[in-house]
Amino acid sequence: MSCSDPIADMLTRIRNACRAGLPAVEMGHSRLKAEIAQILKKEGYVTDVAETAEDGKKVLRVVLKYDYNEKPIIQQLQRVSRPGLRRYVAAAAIPRVKGGLGTALLSTSRGIMTDREARTAHVGGEVLCQIW
């Protein structure tokens, strides 16, 4: 089955797995999804990201992170820009998520970046999602 918005599908799989209390989630691999997952790992929202091959197809496995009360670290995962309505921002207008406690992911001319990295590099781009 084809997917019109693979990023939204990835975020929904992670969101559903967190709500269900699953230890990990698997999805089809793409370079963009792998970059987003690596940023989630770097920012401390997930434990591990692994790329494997099953039946000749690459699979992206994301190991979720929970606190000591078994509550997921990712409280909210929201898609901002979507195929029907793209959201672009200038470097000066990059949104702060929850007053800086959360993270926004941007697709810039220099690759996928967090909101803090984009502000430091003075580049704008498409706001992909917000995480807190």
Domain at 77-131: CATH architecture: 2-Layer Sandwich (3.30)
Paired with 106 in beta bridges are 113, 127
- Enter the tokens of residue 19: 């709500």
Binned average pLDDT, 10 residues per bin, the chain of 132 residues = 86 97 96 97 97 93 96 96 96 95 97 97 98 96
pTM above 0.85, yes or no: yes
What is the CATH T-level fold of the domain 6-64, as seen in this structure?
Ribosomal Protein S8; Chain: A, domain 1 (3.30.1370)
Numbered ranges of CATH 3.30.1490.10 in the chain:
77-131
Numbered ranges of CATH 3.30.1370.30 in the chain:
6-64
Question: Would you say 77 and 11 are in contact if contact means Cβ atoms under 8 Å apart?
Answer: yes
